[in-house]
Amino acid sequence: MCGIAGITYSNSGRPVDAALVERMCEVIHHRGPDEWGMWCDGSVGIGMKRLRIIDLAGGSQPMSNERRTVWIVFNGEIYNYLELRSDLEKRGYRFRTSSDTESILYAYEEFGEECVQHLRGMFAFAIWDCAQRKLFLARDRVGKKPLHYLADSDKLIFGSEIKSILQHPEVTAEVHRPGIVNYLAYGYSPDPDTLFKGIEKLPPGHTLTWHNGTISLRRYWQLRFQPDFSKSEEDFLRETEELLSEAIKIRLMSEVPLGAFLSGGIDSSLVVAMMARQMAEPVKTFSIGFDEQKYNELPYARLVAQRYGTDHHEEIVRPDAEEVIPRLIELFDEPFADSSAIPTYYVSRLARRHVTVILSGDGGDEIFGGYDRYLDSTLSGYTDHIPAFARRMVLGNLPRLLPEWFPGINTLRYLSLDADERYIYKGSKGISWLHGQVFSRDLREEAAGGDPSSAVQAYLKEASACDSVTRRQYIDTMTYLPGDILTKVDRTSMLVSLEARAPLLDHRLVEYAATIPSHFKINGRTTKYLLKKLARKFLPEELIDRPKMGFAMPVATWINRDWREMSHELVLGERALKRGNFNGDYLKRVVNEHRQGRRDHSYIIWTLMVLEMWYRKFIDA
């Protein structure tokens, strides 16, 4: 696991400043504190910070081929590198190290840009091809590892984190204002956008080629849902277990201490159970809890730890807002409003005291249908029988005649929509409907009206032939999973130099899960039906049947108590309002309703707080 960065200029006579590449690497020191390296040659320079996991002595980067005509910096792990190496050796390649990096290098020489099709793992890498004077960037299929870039006719600058790109003297930290719409709706910037003008993310499953100032993007992988109705439930259970077991096995490869997050939920508990069957020594497991019992899952984590005799470590967390929040704002580079980043950071910090590699249960909800939002409400089941034009005319227009404080007004809006619109409404926290009230007029004009629905509409079209549950899974896999879940885990684990691996997101398992018919994922009102049935083979019943909690934080309470003054100043203070992004009257109403306990507006208030703190750290500075 590493952090990578680099620059190339169109003008071959313009040399890259080695000191600049060094600064770009130094600001991501946390991603790889064990070693650093750099290679500069005229108008190109690449560098990396390394966290040693495999081939501790011989895997130094940047790495070149024998002729020194192809150079690579790489972040991630390739789990099939030994098989790939064997194949490449048969083709005549001679390896000098035992690292997975060298396998990518020679795969590029043999297969060109199609090398990504031969890789199984998590990765973001950059290859400089001296002969073609070409830079080739690639990101793994589901977006486990990040890669950002800024490109114009003069140069391309890339980095694992945006802070590396901001080191370049020609890059100014300016706000991409239209991106505020999607950020407020979703709590993150969906790929490929960022909130920095000119800086983009390379989307998951894509490559980028830069040659003589021109870039070309190519999508090399797309998840396709093609349900296989010829198989029985027993077939899917058996094959899912086999694939998950194998995905865990290959992720136990490490030359440094390894363990697992154990939240007490089904996904991480199932991963721990299968690890315990494959490891000779007790699995090291890590859990955190809270004083507020509503958010505390430690009793469930202990059940699993006791059943499998793990070397269990846990900690009660009492988050220090003044200490951790500014640190996370700086870490994420962009505003990131998923408050579960706070406990994820704390459990990563706990784990890092004992191990360097951690396995997690991330991805189970997206690929096996675990979210309650995949279910429609009982009410919508009735209103869907009303013709669409009548539903919109009555239920859609009625809220316009009612005051915003009217009880049930949001339910009326929700019920007036069709199934896809309802999912967007939920995902955008209602802003797909309310954007006209939320944003200032000039921001709405700059953002083409201010409707965040466009961030997911393209994915709805791609999955238009699928049933509603599958369409919702596809949206989440393309947006929420890489933009929120995987970003959160990457940044918080890397902050403490911890490598996180997600066996449930092995691309072979993901592709297989896309063949499971949706009625084996959502069965009646039971979410994640198939995975829960598999879990009954390994886990206590009381863990499986309990309500889903998630890694939540009591943000609503903190806003009214611990953060009362801070939240008011960050949302309604003169400095925030002068930015001209939002309708001030709407913000005042939201804050007042939350303070009075009439509605829980903690999401919108927290999201605005994070945005203002980000402005002050990155833009005002």
Q: Which tens digits make up the pLDDT trace of 450-487? A: 889 988 988 999 998 899 999 999 999 999 999 999 99
> Do 79 and 253 meet the contact criterion of CB atoms below 8 Å apart?
yes
Neighbour-count burial of 281, counting CB atoms closer than 10 A to its CB (0-12 exposed, 13-18 middle, 19+ buried): exposed
pTM, 2 dp: 0.94
Q: What is the mean pLDDT of residues 401-418?
A: 79
Closest to 449 measured CA to CA, from 433, 460, 463, 429 = 433
Task: Indicate left, alpha or beta for 12 from its phi (over 0: left) and psi (-120 to 50: alpha).
Answer: alpha
Could you say which architecture CATH assigns to the domain 2-219?
4-Layer Sandwich (3.60)
Can you tell me whether residue 525 is helix, strand or coil? coil
Helix (H) and strand (E) counts for the chain?
A: 30, 17
Residue ranges of the annotated binding site are 100, 288, 360-361
Annotate 406-442 with b (16+ C-beta within 10 A) or e (fewer): eeeebebbbbbbeebbbbbbbbbbbbbbbbeebbbee
Q: Give the model confidence (pLDDT) of 221-255 as tens digits.
A: 999 999 999 999 999 999 999 999 999 999 998 87
Token reading at 261: 């997050």
Closest to 529 measured CA to CA, from 229, 233, 136 = 233
Closest to 613 measured CA to CA, from 216, 335, 418 = 335
Task: State which fold the 233-319+332-370+481-544 domain adopts.
Answer: Rossmann fold (3.40.50)
How much is the pLDDT for 250?
A: 96
Can you tell me whether residue 33 is helix, strand or coil? strand
Q: What is the mean pLDDT of residues 287-295?
A: 80
Token reading at 23: 């600064």
- Check if 115 is active-site: no
Output Rg (C-alpha) for the chain, integer angstroms.
Answer: 24
Q: Which residues contact 112 (CB under 8 A, 6 or more apart)?
A: none
Q: Which long-range contacts (CB under 8 A, 24 or more apart) does 55-61 make?
A: 55/97, 55/98, 55/99, 55/100, 55/255, 56/255, 56/256, 58/96, 58/97, 58/98, 58/99, 59/97, 59/98, 59/99, 59/100, 59/101, 60/35, 61/2, 61/37, 61/101
Residue 59 has pLDDT above 90, yes or no: no
Residue ranges of the annotated binding site for L-glutamine are 100
- What is the domain partition of the chain in residue ranges? 2-219, 233-319+332-370+481-544, 554-621
For residues 485 and 389, what is the distance between their CA atoms, to the nearest angstrom?
37
Token reading at 419: 């199934």
CA-CA-CA-CA dihedral for 66, 71, 77, 83, to nearest 10: -30
The residue annotated as part of the active site, out of 2, 40, 115, 466, is 2
Confidence of residue 399 (pLDDT cuts 50, 70, 90): confident
Closest to 373 measured CA to CA, from 170, 242, 580, 550 = 550
Q: Which H or E element spans position 314?
A: strand 311-317
Q: Give the model confidence (pLDDT) of 517-563 as tens digits.
A: 999 999 998 999 999 999 999 999 999 988 776 666 677 777 878 78
Q: Are strands 357-359 and 499-501 parallel, antiparallel or unpaired?
A: parallel
For residues 75 and 536, what is the distance between their CA atoms, to the nearest angstrom?
36
Report residue 34: phi and psi, to 5°.
-80, -30
Please report, in angstroms and rounded to a whole number, the separation of the first and last CA atoms in the chain: 31
Confidence of residue 139 (pLDDT cuts 50, 70, 90): very high
Residue ranges of the annotated binding site for ATP are 288, 360-361
Q: Which residues contact 503 (CB under 8 A, 6 or more apart)?
A: 244, 247, 248, 251, 271, 359, 509
Q: Give the model confidence (pLDDT) of 154-184 as tens digits.
A: 999 999 999 999 999 999 999 999 999 999 9
